[in-house]
Structures are given as C-alpha cells and as structure tokens.
A and B are shown apart, each in its own frame.
Chain A
Amino acid sequence: MKLALVCSHGGHLTQMLELMEAFEGHETFFLTHDSVRTRKLENAYLIPVIGTNIWRMAMSTLRIGKIFWRERPDVVVSTGSEIAIPAFFVSRLLGTRTLFIETWARITSPSGTGRIVYFVADAFFVQWKQLLNCYGPRAHYEGGVF
C-alpha cells in the first residue's frame, strides 16, 4: 500500500520516525512542516506551520488536497499535531483510510487534535493507558513509542 505519514516537524516527527518499522513493506511519503530538520527527509512534502489560524488551516486543506489527489495514498497515518486535522478531513472526502496515534506527550488529557480526529479516524491509538478514560470505545492502547 502507499502510506502518507503526516506529522508536524518536532516531537511528532520524532515519534513517527520511531514507528517506521511498522511501515516496512509499504511505500511511504511524508507530509510535514518546513524546517531545518525536515528538509533532509526523503519523499517529503513540506507545508507551512498551521497553528490555530483558521486561514492557514484553510490554505493547508487546499495544499493537502492537491498533494493527496496526486499521490492517492491508501492510508493516511498521523502522530499529530494539528496538521492531522486538514489531512484527515481531505482523506474523508477522498475515501482514504486513516490511522491516528495520539502523542506520547499526552497522558491524562487528550490533545486538541486528538479530540477532533477521534471522530473521523478509522483507527485510533493512545500511548498511555490512562488516556483511554478520556476517549470513547474506539480508542485503543497498545503500548507507546518509548
């Protein structure tokens, strides 16, 4: 399958890189933010940081729409953060399957992104057992990156 690996450029990317073994045997490309670090990634689409700005969120949705239209990934995998929101929204429109892994940084309270994508993700994992209490029955705990 072709997998889109979607994450922001700091700790979320570090977590994605820790999980690369799970994606062996599949074709992958990254969708992340532009930074010193991500410019060295192979097969990466780099888009500006989004934050909570609605305008940038809308622009990102269009950019991601174009990228996914061209790449046609079979599954979109994300470790957060907010870049997952437009990516999962576009995936929903294109009928692409989505897999979300809540950040290891969240132990007892969900992230803003997790709260939103919980409702659209086809599979949803948290990395701390305690966090299951904050999500519904579709959230799974199966260990964590560290």
Chain B
Amino acid sequence: MIFVTVGQHSEGFPRLIQGMDEVAGRIQEEVVMQIGSTTYLPCNARWFRFADYEEMKLLNKAARVVVTHAGAGSIITALKAEAAVVVVPRLSRYAEVIDDHQLELARELSTEGRVVAVSEVEELEGVLQDVTRPKLRSKRANRLIRALRTCLEEFEQD
C-alpha cells in the first residue's frame, strides 16, 4: 500500500494529491491518502482529511511507501514506522509555503540517504517502483535527550 500524507498543515496540497491520484489511476497497488484541507478530492484512492496520531502511525506502519510533504512531523512518523519515504516538498515557487525550508529538509535527508526527495509530481511514478527502506539512526536523538536532561537538572539545582 502507498500512503500519501500532507500532515496537519492548515493549507491543502493539491499538487501532491492530484498528482498521486493520477498515479493511483495507472498502477495496481492500493493508495490511501490523508488530504488535510486540500479541496481536490481523489477519485482513484481512498482518502480522509485528518486522523489522530495512533491511526496515522498504523497507516505509516502498514504502508510499503509513504509519500509525504516535507513536514518534520510527517517525515519523523514515516521514518519511525520504517517505511520507505518519498518526500515532496511544498515549494514557495508554487505559493505552497512562504519559504523553502521544506525543500531544504528534503534535500538534506535525501543526501543522508534516508528519504527520496522529489520536487515535481511528474517524477513520482518512476520513483515509487523501486524505492527502499532507509537505515535508522537514533544516536542524535539520544544525545539530545541526554542534553535536555542535564539542562533540566541544572535548572533544578539553582
């Protein structure tokens, strides 16, 4: 199953939803979409607007591939579910966001080999065929958790 998500963003992401709907009409694999506030409604895939975190985690786990906007939360959830992740950043040139920090995050993670970043939806169909699961790395998370604990201990002491 391919799970498509646009996160909790207040704006829809019609470029991704419509693009993936067209792909869904051409392939055999099931496609499920979380479309948020997008006004375009898919006709080749099951879709819903928002779901709670538990349901989102289950869908991410069930998916072979998660296709997501480049929001930090959606990407983290997908990577933690150990799905293969294809990221389509919301771009300022299409007035989807005010700046290109999504593009930046997508590029950085794709350089690290943890996601496949795709700027144009026309490239999606080719990428979806042979995308693979990323390697998990949590050293950085452990380091941050330790640093926060230390910081809180220091607060407690003075």
Contact = CB atoms under 8 A, between A and B. Distances in A.
A74 to B, nearest CB: 7
Nearest to A39: B52
B16 to A, nearest CB: 16
Given A22-B145, A36-B51, A144-B140, A75 B155 contact: yes
A14 B76 contact: yes
Interface residues of A, number: 47
Q: How large is the interface on B (under 10, 10 to 19, 20 to 34, 35 or more residues)?
A: 35 or more
A7 to B, nearest CB: 10
Interface string B122-158: 0000000000000001111111111111011001100
A1 B155 CA distance: 9
B101 A144 contact: no
Nearest to A49: B10
Main SS at interface, chain A: loop
B73 A11 contact: yes
Interface centre among A1, A11, A106, by most B CB within 10 Å?
A11
A123 B141 CA distance: 18
Interface centre among B75, B108, B141, B146, by most A CB within 10 Å?
B141
B30 interface: no
Interface string B55-76: 0100000000000001111111
Given A11-B7, A37-B50, A143-B142, 13 more contacts: A21-B145, A22-B149, A23-B148, A37-B56, A40-B54, A77-B148, A97-B155, A105-B101, A107-B105, A143-B144, A144-B144, A145-B76, A146-B80
17 contacts: A1-B152, A3-B152, A11-B73, A14-B73, A21-B145, A23-B152, A37-B8, A40-B52, A99-B148, A99-B152, A105-B102, A105-B105, A123-B155, A125-B144, A128-B108, A146-B75, A146-B80
Interface of A: 1, 3, 9-15, 17-19, 21-23, 26, 35-37, 39-40, 49, 51, 74-75, 77, 97, 99, 101, 103-109, 122-123, 125, 127-128, 140, 142-146
The 7 closest A-B pairs by CB, nearest first: A11-B73, A143-B143, A10-B8, A142-B147, A14-B73, A22-B148, A143-B140
